[in-house]
Amino acid sequence: MICGISGQDGGYLAQLLLDKGYAVYGASRDAQASSFGNLVQLGIRERVECVSVSLRDFRSVLQVLVKVRPDEVYNLAGQSSVGLSFDQPVETMESISVATLNLLEALRFVDYPIRLYNAGSSECFGETGDQPADENTPFRPRSPYAVAKAAAFWETANYREAYHLFACSGILFNHESPYRPQRFVTQKIVAGACDIARGRQHGLQLGNLQIQRDWGWAPEYVEAMWLMLQQERAEDYVIATGHTYSLEAFAQAAFAAVGLDWTDYVSSDASQMRPTDIMVGRANPAKALRQLGWQASLRMPDVVGLMTAAYNARHASRS
């Protein structure tokens, strides 16, 4: 069962699990009303059984677990935008930390073993400077989103230790795909570059171009999620490429992909900067390679190329 199946990771994970022969259930607040657009675009909507569940309601969570009786639960749900979390801190906290707690508590009550994957976030680390973060790096969250993710991480660890649940968190660094909404800066840059090249847009305003992140390819990262639940013992893992680039470099790559010089079109707008932000995100994913056999094969330039090609193909088909 995948909670948050409507999102980027949920769609790719559903596709991966279906290819492995799983029966996949997608949990949504209102399964009858949701369009599940990503599942439709991936061509798997008819192969996924969607069920309604409110993760903020313990009874609702318990009922769906009893009904579905899943072997594995992937918790990918919750408000997913760091920027939006500053405007909606309560919604962010409840949709992430309260939802995770309800899942864990429900798993404690059911009478059969269920393995739980919890979607953690590199945002929990905060500012680590040039030190790559690994599984032992302390959390110093700098946004309401990161605070909520840190709470969910420790809830998961506590239930694993106190009640011996198979529950683990993947501490994922930034990972992108064509299914990122345009409120995410990566998709905003890709869409802006493509639309400017087509004459549909004249310029692009971004926040701090000097921030640095480790950007990977989402379809590779969902495989790491699955691998975590196949281990003999539940443990937490940092998932990343191990290579960091600036937002400026991301913009340069996106505009170069459409034959343009980014400096002619991109400007920095202070109003788009967050109240607090992480300047540099660096990762050490050695444990994932050592214990899961997982390693990212695509880095930021590859990701930009794939996103740009997908955006152009999608919009060319509509014209």
Q: Which amino acid is at 289?
A: L
Name the 3-class secondary structure at 25: strand
Residue 284: C-alpha distances to residues 110, 149, 168, 250, 287 (Å): 36, 19, 18, 21, 8
Is-catalytic flag, 121? Answer: yes
Burial class (CB in 10 A: 0-12, 13-18, 19+), 9: buried
Task: List phi, psi (to 5°) of 264.
Answer: -80, -10
Task: Give the active site residue among 123, 176, 220, 248.
Answer: 123
Is-catalytic flag, 54? Answer: no
As a three-state string, the secondary structure of 80-127 is CCHHHHHHCHHHHHHHHHHHHHHHHHHHHHCCCCCEEEEEEEHHHHCC
Task: Give the active site residue among 12, 145, 179, 311.
Answer: 145
- State the DSSP H helix or E strand holding residue 19, giving kind and residue range, or none if neither: helix 8-19
Task: Give the active site residue among 6, 95, 121, 122.
Answer: 121
Is-catalytic flag, 123? Answer: yes
Tokens of 108: 């404690």
Distance of CA 279 to the CA centre of its chain: 19
Please list the active-site residues: 121, 123, 145
